Amino acid sequence: MISEQKTRTPATILVVDDDPSVLEMITACLRSEGYQLKEAGDPEEALRVVEGLAPDLVISDVLMPGMDGFQFISEYTRRFPHRLTPFVFLSSLADKYSVVLGLDLGADDYLVKPVHLEVLRAKVRSLLQKKTRYTTPTFYGDLSRYSAMKLLQFCDRKGLTGEVVISSPCLHTRLQFRGGDMQTTEAADPARFLESLYELGEGTFVIHAQSFDFKEIESAAIPASVESSAPVANRPMGRLSAVRMDRRLFQIQTEYSGLNRDQIVTTVIVEGRIVHTRTGLPPAGATREALEKFIDGQHRAIEQEIKERISGEALRRSKSQETSRDTFDRLFDAGCEMFREKDYSGALALWSEAYEIDSADKTLSTNLKIVRKKLNLS
């Protein structure tokens, strides 16, 4: 682990403040942690710096001559909507309005001066760790071509875990998703917030997908009831993989078990439950290399069986749903157009018809609540 950390490129942090003493204090504090630091005395200089450099984190003051920190984050987001750059405001403005405004504009944290340096270090570590959980942008689009309704429906259907950044002249927001479900927004009126998204006719959006994490299956592993007979150093390496269908995740784990004699056990887990187990018996006296080859073969065979079974099930399902899905999408899209044209009665009629086809579509259910509220039917 130590050698990996030595070869890892240190994160680059941009600090923006018109007070030279604050710049010096923050950069010295974070440089001692091993980060690369860039400095800017005002937002205009900072924007010139980031033209050729995508920082991993930005720390900015709010009250600065010319462009202030709030204008800076808005301009940064407008110029680089594809970047997932965490922002931290450090400001002497401690009133509730300023804090809320900073967070609403997209800042990840707002710290009031004077801030303890240990707290700042911890905040930076936390934000950088969260940033590394995301891949590069999955998709970058224009809201004039893709409606916000279709965008949210796509995230739901694909089971997105990650973030969608939406930027327009009148709104900037980050929507967090987990398994396709949009996490509760901090807006006072969530329905009105979604309505404002639906009414956007221009702007951009970026979808960031979170990387896959196998920690869940590690916690679901079955503890060995009998100690393996093979010395730890000579035990063969196991195999771990996952196969996804819709929102079901088949977790496959194959490992060596020395119960009376050498045996290879494969378990298939879905939603924390073991749905299949297979035991294989390798040749007696097999070497570690032979056991690992046996493990790999058994693991691949079961993985292939699951994929073939899923493919057959998916094919049968797609054939039976092909016509109804096309009809649903046609009704949903036509309802979206009527909603944007403020024909709420027409949208309600079309979406109600679509609901009869697929009542489980979460975006459609949300749309129906919004349009009924507009028609005073709720």
Confidence grade of residue 378 (pLDDT, cut at 50, 70, 90): low
- What is the average pLDDT value for the chain, to the nearest integer? 81
CA nearest neighbour of 68 among 93, 85, 86: 93
Q: What is the pLDDT of residue 17?
A: 94
pLDDT top residue among 347 and 9: 347
Neighbours of 246 (CB within 10 A): 13
Helix (H, G, I), strand (E, B) or coil at 274: strand
Q: What is the pLDDT of residue 287?
A: 86
Number of C-alpha atoms within 13 angstroms, CB side, residue 138?
A: 17
Query: In the CATH scheme, what is the code of domain 8-131?
Result: 3.40.50.2300
pLDDT at 195 over 60: yes
pLDDT at 344 over 80: yes
Q: Residues near 246 by Cβ (< 8 Å), separated by ≥ 6?
A: 159
The residue behind tokens 């749903």 is 321
Q: How far is CA 133 from CA 123, 206, 211, 231, 246, in A?
A: 16, 16, 6, 36, 22
Element (H, E) at 159: none
In this predicted model, what pLDDT tens digit does every residue of 207-223 receive, in sequence order?
887 655 444 444 445 44
What pairs with residue 139 in β-bridges? 207
CB 264 within 8 A of CB 301: no
Confidence grade of residue 58 (pLDDT, cut at 50, 70, 90): very high
Q: What is the pLDDT of residue 114?
A: 85
Burial per residue of 195-206, b for 16 or more beta-carbon CB atoms within 10 angstroms, e otherwise: bbbbebeebbbb
The residue behind tokens 């033209």 is 51
In this predicted model, what pLDDT tens digit does every residue of 72-92 receive, in sequence order?
998 998 888 777 789 999 988
The residue behind tokens 């493919």 is 311
What tokens were used for 131? 């940033």
In this predicted model, what pLDDT tens digit does every residue of 286-331 receive, in sequence order?
888 888 899 999 999 988 888 877 666 655 665 555 577 788 888 9
Cα-Cα-Cα-Cα dihedral sign, residues 200, 206, 212, 216: negative
Neighbours of 22 (CB within 10 A): 16
What's phi and psi for 223, nearest 5 deg? -65, 140
Mean pLDDT of 231-259: 73
pLDDT at 227 over 60: no
Helix %, strand %, coil % for the chain, to 5? 45, 25, 30
Cis preceding linkage at 86, omega within 30: no
Q: What is the pLDDT of residue 35?
A: 93
Q: What is the pLDDT of residue 18?
A: 93
For residues 303 and 19, give the distance between their C-alpha atoms in angstroms, rounded to a whole number.
60
Mean pLDDT of 17-39: 92
- The letter for the amino acid at 315 is L
- How are beta strands 57-60 and 87-91 bridged, if at all? parallel
Q: Kindly write down the DSSP assignment for every residue of 292-319, as one continuous string.
A: HHHHHHHHHHHHHHHHHHHHHHHHHHHH
Burial per residue of 249-285, b for 16 or more beta-carbon CB atoms within 10 angstroms, e otherwise: bbbbbbbbbeeeebebbbbbbeeeeeeeeeebebeee
Q: How far is CA 43 from CA 63, 108, 112, 325, in A?
A: 11, 18, 19, 49
Q: What is the pLDDT of residue 311?
A: 67
Q: What is the pLDDT of residue 189?
A: 78
